Amino acid sequence: MSNKALKILGQEIKPGQSASLEMEVAKLHTRNSLRIPVIIERAKEDGPVLLCMGGVHGDEMNGVAIVRDIIRKKYNKPIKGTIICIPVFNVFGYLNQQREFPDGRDLNRMFPGSADGSLASQFAHAFTKEIAPKVDYVLDFHTGGAERSNYPNARCALNDAKVLHLAKVFGAPFIVNSTYIPKSIRELFHKMGKTILLFEGGKSLELNDEVVKCGVEGAYNVMKYLGMHEGVASAENEPVIVTKSKWIRAQHSGIFETRIQNGTWVKHKTVIGRISDPFGDFERRVLAPRDCYVFGLNTTSIVNKGDAIFHISMETQE
């Protein structure tokens, strides 16, 4: 996309300029308007437009902290092209430390939205109209939901060569195959012909330094790859590509303890967890059902039968 005439939210930003804009999302009945900050940095030299966003789910703190650090380290000031940062996408949810929008909806299932839909749908619509068409590449930072902690991974549809290549450049320890979920931001950008990479690390309502570092370094790698910064992208890890995965579910209810570190390779029948009752009567070991990587685990201390407890690889490419 040509960098020359960038008009965003009604304002023209020329090459070499920066702007801190606000996207108006809704007018509240309290006479306040809800706006989200949109931070734009343009280089003098023409180049791609990259959007870095966090907090689509309001309780996913790592994503917000990653975009904050991208700004803090000035990685968002490119030598070529334009970088747009939206650190807190779902401001409502973020303030309340909730995943959802105040209307109870998951914002990430509302795209492209509509002008006269629900609050979340209006928000999605404004973003789809005002911001999405202006960008070429997107990095969308997430964590696991609820108590499920994800080892840092990039999510992409492996049959999309361009996205897969970007995921390798990003360099998170795992790349996990994930099809486009209907009405998600990822599907929206995909349908618009843009390249979007989703990063997931850690769990909601928790800040994890290692995860944040991995996300920031990954973004910096992508920026270098796109020529937005000097240097060559160098991933610390050769990512393990998980072509097929599944969640192991608890076979019993009870006190749940894990016996392994997230992100590790385990052999078939390794004891990876334990479920017991509070009375010392009942105890069952959870065994690895095969040789596999464990890259997501439930950190809750009590599980019910059927709860997802370990996310494991079923097939990998290395």
Is 203 a binding residue for Zn ion by CB under 5 A? The answer is no
Is 186 a binding residue for Zn ion by CB under 5 A? The answer is no
Q: CB under 5 A: which stretch of 3-11, 51-59, 132-140, 273-281 binds Zn ion?
A: 51-59
- Tokens 């809800």 correspond to 34
- 60 or 307: whose CB is closer to Zn ion? 60
- 200 or 307: whose CB is closer to Zn ion? 200
- 140 or 217: whose CB is closer to Zn ion? 140
- Closest contact distance (angstroms) between CB of 94 and Zn ion is 12
- 64 or 275: whose CB is closer to Zn ion? 64
Q: Residue 154 and residue 143: Cα distance in Å, rounded?
A: 11
- CA 6 to each of CA 15, 82, 115, 238, 285: distance values in angstroms, whole numbers, following the listed order: 9, 9, 24, 36, 58
- 41 or 69: whose CB is closer to Zn ion? 69
CB neighbours (10 Å) of residue 168? 19
Share in percent of the chain as helix, strand, coil (round to 5): 20, 40, 40
Binding positions for Zn ion, 249-288, rule CB under 5 A: none
Q: Which residues pair with 62 in a beta bridge?
A: none
Q: Which two tokens stand for residue 293?
A: 């990587």
- Closest contact distance (angstroms) between CB of 314 and Zn ion is 23
Is 142 a binding residue for Zn ion by CB under 5 A? The answer is yes
Q: Considering CB under 5 A, how many residues would be counted as binding Zn ion?
A: 3
Q: CB under 5 A: which stretch of 55-63, 238-246, 247-255, 257-265 binds Zn ion?
A: 55-63
Is 168 a binding residue for Zn ion by CB under 5 A? The answer is no
- Closest contact distance (angstroms) between CB of 60 and Zn ion is 5
Q: Which two tokens stand for residue 115?
A: 């002008």
Q: CB under 5 A: which stretch of 52-60, 77-85, 114-122, 270-278 binds Zn ion?
A: 52-60
Residues found in the chain = 318
- By beta carbon distance, the residue nearest Zn ion is 142
- Closest contact distance (angstroms) between CB of 229 and Zn ion is 27
Residue 190 DSSP SS3:
helix
Alpha-helix residue ranges (DSSP H) falling in the chain: 61-72, 91-96, 119-130, 161-170, 185-191, 209-225
Q: Residue 228 and residue 45: Cα distance in Å, rounded?
A: 9
Is 57 a binding residue for Zn ion by CB under 5 A? The answer is yes
Q: Residue 211 and residue 296: Cα distance in Å, rounded?
A: 13
Which residues are near Zn ion by CB under 5 A? 57, 60, 142
